[in-house]
Amino acid sequence: MASFSISLSQSSHISLKPKTSPPKSHFVKSHFVQIKASAHSTPSPSTPPKPVVSKPRRPADENIRDEARRNNPTHSHRFSAKYVPFNADSSSSHSTESYSLDEIVYRSQSGGLLDVQHDMDALKNYDGKYWRDLFDSRVGKTTWPYGSGVWSKKEWVLPEIDSDDIISAFEGNSNLFWAERFGKQFLGMSDLWVKHCGISHTGSFKDLGMTVLVSQVNRLRKMKRPVVGVGCASTGDTSAALSAYCAAAGIPSIVFLPANRISIAQLVQPIANGAFVLSLDTDFDGCMQLIREVTAELPIYLANSLNSLRLEGQKTAAIEILQQFDWNVPDWVIVPGGNLGNIYAFYKGFHMCKELGLVDRIPRLVCAQAANANPLYLHYQSGWKDFKPIKANSTFASAIQIGDPVSIDRAVYALRNSNGIVEEATEEELMDAMAQADSTGMFICPHTGVALTALIKLRKSGAIGPTDRTVVVSTAHGLKFTQSKIDYHSMNIKDMACRLANPPVQVKADFGSVMDVLKKTLLSKAPKH
């Protein structure tokens, strides 16, 4: 059998007029939508955010930032947010500790995690229909900054930031792919979807959080706060997103990477974007410890998911899923988990929509881990008894090769409050699932293979039914992990059968040889009646 290889070196009140046109497709809205008052909204003393409506083309000498300054010179609402200590048992928390988002703080006084808390009373001055219509009116526009899937929900993300301080690549608005063939052929499912968050600026969902964090750093620097740069520890995608957004803002970025543990495609991104890259002889957990120590001593802003600002951007992917289903709630959402900020971000996005009346329930969440890096899975299997970090072993799902996740408490809270489940995938299971998905027209990353493995297991156990609307979150683009796909299809992975390998066939360059091979192949695949 022929093999092949490649050698490489080191996210006033309003209502819409009734529509008489056919049902709209996802993310497609009628042009020139008009907005008017909703009889069910509670009056507010402040002027609400203006929906995006049709307008004449801006002057030729004016860019979209200039246009935003002209149309929105001052804040016209009273929405706000602050840092508060994250407490999984909020009913017993009476802490008055809080911080402005303009403060540089990552931990509470007790050393615990922080959370971004929005002024829900102010947001509740507007009903669910108001928010649905406002968010829908912004989709697909180039109006700054609302063309972004993240900043189209600006009032729920960083309500007090000036639009001129935002650093955005119009991230988000990612494809919700109907996995028709995969669902039908392999799982007997008719309503399976894959949220391709990797179809984003740098090829991963990390863009959704990084646009928020870097925008806030941009604001802090304009306020003359002592921030000389932004730093992160990374298994690949965080460094790519950080370096890209910092480059767009003209802010120095510093990246700590575990040597020889990320793909070449992931390594080259921060290098190309001009980051100062340190390759360290340790794993991600070691890099994380070092970056925390460094940012405690130097005026470098910490960009890892320990920083709760990033979760504000990542939660918009959950809101976006609801938008794409015309505000109908799916039954299940399956998310790969490593440092575990993402599973909480999805919970937070869904829960916020329920609390503000956009939907009446939230989906059940599943967190999927690689068996070689499965501390949350072990914790779940123990009945949520005392959590124990582990030493993560090597996995093809390298971005989730984390044994001591920062957001463990956040993840447990999200799963317990969504009647959630944790599943795991062995290396062979995740690689087979990736190959299986690719064979139906997708081109996914190994981490999505982990999530699909969880789905396969939950379908076999009967936990997920054949008609359950299920969304699998794909966190990165498959092009970042081509070497793992090459190794699989070359059958060049030790102790792995690679049962779905599809290597190229070497054939002599003459008509007869080509015809012989084609006839043999086509006859073997011909339908049998």
Q: Contact 339/202 with Cβ under 8 angstroms?
A: no
Q: Is the pLDDT of residue 53 over 90?
A: no
Q: Which domain holds residue 390?
A: 176-203+321-489
371 found inside a domain: yes
- Considering only residues 488 and 16, tell me which one the structure prediction assigns the higher pLDDT: 488
Q: Which whole number is the average pLDDT over 59-75?
A: 80
pLDDT value at position 88? 62
Express each pLDDT in 218-242 by its tens digit.
Answer: 999 999 999 999 999 887 889 999 9
Q: Is the pLDDT of residue 23 over 50?
A: no
d(CA 25, CA 17): 18
| Pairing label, strands 81-85, 114-118 | antiparallel
266 found inside a domain: no
**113-127, 195-209, 244-258, 513-527: range with lowest mean pLDDT:** 513-527
pLDDT level of residue 305 (50, 70, 90 thresholds): confident
Express each pLDDT in 469-512 by its tens digit.
Answer: 999 999 999 999 999 999 999 999 999 999 999 999 999 999 99
Express each pLDDT in 141-170 by its tens digit.
Answer: 899 999 999 999 999 999 999 999 999 999
pLDDT value at position 98? 95
Express each pLDDT in 379-392 by its tens digit.
Answer: 999 999 999 999 99
Domains: count for the chain: 2
Express each pLDDT in 311-335 by its tens digit.
Answer: 999 999 999 999 999 999 999 999 9
Distances (CA, A) of 503 to 419, 429, 449, 488, 523: 42, 19, 20, 9, 19
Q: Which of these three, 72, 103, 118, is where a domain ends?
A: 118
269 found inside a domain: no
Express each pLDDT in 448-465 by its tens digit.
Answer: 999 999 999 999 999 999
Q: Which residues of 249-259 are buried (b: 16+ CB within 10 A; e: fewer)?
A: bebbbbbbbbe
pTM of the model: 0.87
pLDDT value at position 75? 55
Is 246 strand, coil or helix? Answer: helix
In 3D space, the residue among 189, 184, 382, 217 whose CA is nearest the CA of residue 310 turns out to be 217
Q: Which long-range contacts (CB under 8 A, 24 or more apart) does 491-497 make?
A: 491/1, 491/3, 492/3, 492/5, 493/431, 496/427, 496/428, 496/431, 497/428
pLDDT value at position 35? 37
Residue 111 and residue 180 in one domain = no
d(CA 404, CA 387): 10
402 found inside a domain: yes
Q: Which long-range contacts (CB under 8 A, 24 or more apart) does 65-69 make?
A: 65/144, 65/163, 65/164, 67/143, 67/144, 68/143, 68/144, 68/145, 68/163, 68/164, 69/163, 69/164
- Considering only residues 138 and 29, tell me which one the structure prediction assigns the higher pLDDT: 138
478 found inside a domain: yes
Distances (CA, A) of 30 to 18, 33, 139, 142: 11, 6, 11, 16
pLDDT level of residue 261 (50, 70, 90 thresholds): confident
d(CA 132, CA 212): 21
Q: What is the CATH number of the domain that holds 380?
A: 3.40.50.1100
pLDDT value at position 310? 95
248 found inside a domain: no
